[in-house]
Each structure stands twice: as C-alpha cells, then as structure tokens.
C-alpha cells in the first residue's frame, strides 16, 4: 500500500480533514454544508484508531466508505432539520419585513377603493383582504405585498 493510503488510515489525517472542513464552513458563512463533513471526519478520528489492527486494504475501504456514508446521512438528514431550527437564510428584508407589521390607516380602505396606510414613516397604497372596510385612523396588519400595494386586514 502506498504512503498516501497509509497516511489516510491515521487519526492525524482525519484530524486534518476536520480542521479543513471547519475552516471552510467558517469562510462560507455557515451554509451548513461542510459542517457535516467536519463532523464525519471527527468521528473518523476515533474509528481509525479503533480499527488499526485490521488489514490495511480493508481498513482503507472501511474508513472511506464509513466517512462517505456518515457525510451523506448528516448532509441529507441533519442539514434540513438544522436549517429549519436555526432559520438559516430566512432573514426577511425590505418589503418582506413589513408582512405581519401593524400600520396606521391614513385614508379609508374599502372593497372597491384602495386607501393608504403609513408604516415606518412611509405611505403605502393599501387594499383590504376581506370585505370589511377599514376607517381612517384605525390600525391594520399587513398580510402581503402585491407589487407596490400592501394587502391589509383589520386588527
């Protein structure tokens, strides 16, 4: 077996991979992709130490196969769960951050006539979501944005 394969069988190789994948994850602003490879290679540090007595050819296949299998499981199974729990990439900005906010009605809004609302110091043309009119001076909640108009409902 060549020196490269012998190197890959040592815990030091897997430690190096763990550090490399962790650094890459940090550089890529925690996209939660290489993190799972780092976790798999961390596990492989201990596994490689535990299987040192096996035949080098079999040990190489076992370590590489286990690493790829663990990485696939973590990437496919744990990543979606982690993204959902950590809310990665779900930052609402600009107009989308207005949804769910309370606004002040500055011009009456009816089913057939759009009105105006004021939110964060800006005036928006507003439509109602249901058939109930909203009087001037009332508060409303922004349900969605359609183009340049806010769709609102009564509080």
- Residue 98 belongs to domain with CATH number: 2.40.50.140
Six token digits for residue 133: 């009119």
Give pLDDT tens digits along the chain (155 positions). Answer: 577 667 777 899 999 999 999 999 989 877 888 999 999 999 999 999 898 888 888 888 999 999 999 999 998 998 888 877 776 655 666 788 899 999 999 999 998 999 999 999 999 999 999 888 999 999 999 999 998 999 999 88
Domain of residue 53 covers 3-86
Domain boundary among 86, 108, 138: 86
Structural domains in the chain (count): 2
Alpha-carbon gap, residue 73 to 81, rounded angstroms = 12
Domain boundary among 39, 63, 86: 86
Q: What is the pTM of this model?
A: 0.56
**Are 125 and 59 members of one domain?**
no
Q: Find tokens 């815990």 and name the residue.
A: 11
Task: Please name every residue paired with 122 in a beta bridge, in sequence order, or none if there are none.
Answer: 119
**Are 51 and 114 members of one domain?**
no
Count the neighbouring beta carbons within 10 Å of the beta carbon of residue 87. Answer: 8
């Amino acid at each position: 077996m060549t020196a490269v394969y012998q190197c890959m069988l040592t815990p030091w190789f897997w430690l190096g991979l763990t550090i490399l994948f962790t650094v890459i994850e940090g550089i890529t602003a925690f996209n939660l992709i290489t993190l799972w490879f780092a976790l798999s290679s961390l596990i492989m540090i201990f596994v490689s130490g535990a299987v040192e007595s096996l035949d080098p050819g079999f040990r190489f296949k076992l370590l590489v196969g286990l690493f790829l299998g663990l990485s696939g499981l973590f990437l496919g199974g744990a990543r979606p769960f982690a993204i959902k729990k950590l809310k990665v990439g779900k930052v609402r900005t600009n107009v989308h951050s207005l949804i769910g906010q309370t606004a002040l009605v500055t011009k009456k809004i009816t089913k057939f006539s759009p009105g105006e609302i004021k939110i964060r110091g800006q005036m928006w043309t507003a439509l109602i979501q249901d058939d109930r009119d909203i009087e001037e001076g009332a508060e409303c909640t922004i349900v969605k944005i359609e183009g340049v108009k806010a769709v609102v409902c009564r509080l």
